[in-house]
Homo-oligomer: A and B are copies of this chain.
């Protein structure tokens, strides 16, 4: 396989995968491009390379910065901004996990906590099933949140070592 073919496949696949992970396809494609670029790229280069509009390039770069996955760089003597991605994949993974945790797990836990307070007859089958399901769900989500929160505080080797022992 030639470099250009491999590059396109990589960007394409990363976009598709991300799509099923709550990250927009083109944001993931921009990310993929920056991940394999040894040098920082300008918005112009990104839009030309991926054949996307100026607006889209700008928005996606912005979103990637919000996610903490991409950084701006100001090159002396150049007017325009350059962008580069965090290359340490473990840091990337931690960053994504933590962002999604904050954006999704925290709100759902707050909601479940609310829903447990539903009024009603304790002898009603439906009411009981509802309380049970919501409570069990909260318990599992809460444990997952706990584990993720701690896991991202470790460095990769510590986590891998610990997991290896755990599952030996």
Contact B89 A136, beta carbon cutoff 8 Å: yes
Q: How many subunits of this chain does the assembly comprise?
A: 2
Q: Cβ of A79 < 8 Å from any Cβ of B? A: no
Contact B38 A125, beta carbon cutoff 8 Å: yes
Interface residues on A, range: 35 or more
What's the least CB distance linking A90 to chain B, in Å?
Answer: 6
Contact B167 A1, beta carbon cutoff 8 Å: no
Contact residues of A: prevailing secondary structure: helix
Residues of A48-105 at the interface with B, using a CB-CB cut-off of 8 Å, are: 87-90, 93, 104
Checking B39, B119, B127, B166 against A162 with a beta-carbon cut-off of 8 angstroms, the contacting residue is B166
With A1-B119, A114-B1, A166-B166 in contact, is A36–B6 under 8 Å at CB?
Answer: no
Q: Which residues on B sit within 8 Å (CB–CB) of A89?
A: 133, 136-137, 139-140
Contact B10 A115, beta carbon cutoff 8 Å: yes
Q: Which residues on B sit within 8 Å (CB–CB) of A17?
A: 104, 108
Q: How far is the CA of A162 from the CA of B143 in the complex (A)?
A: 12
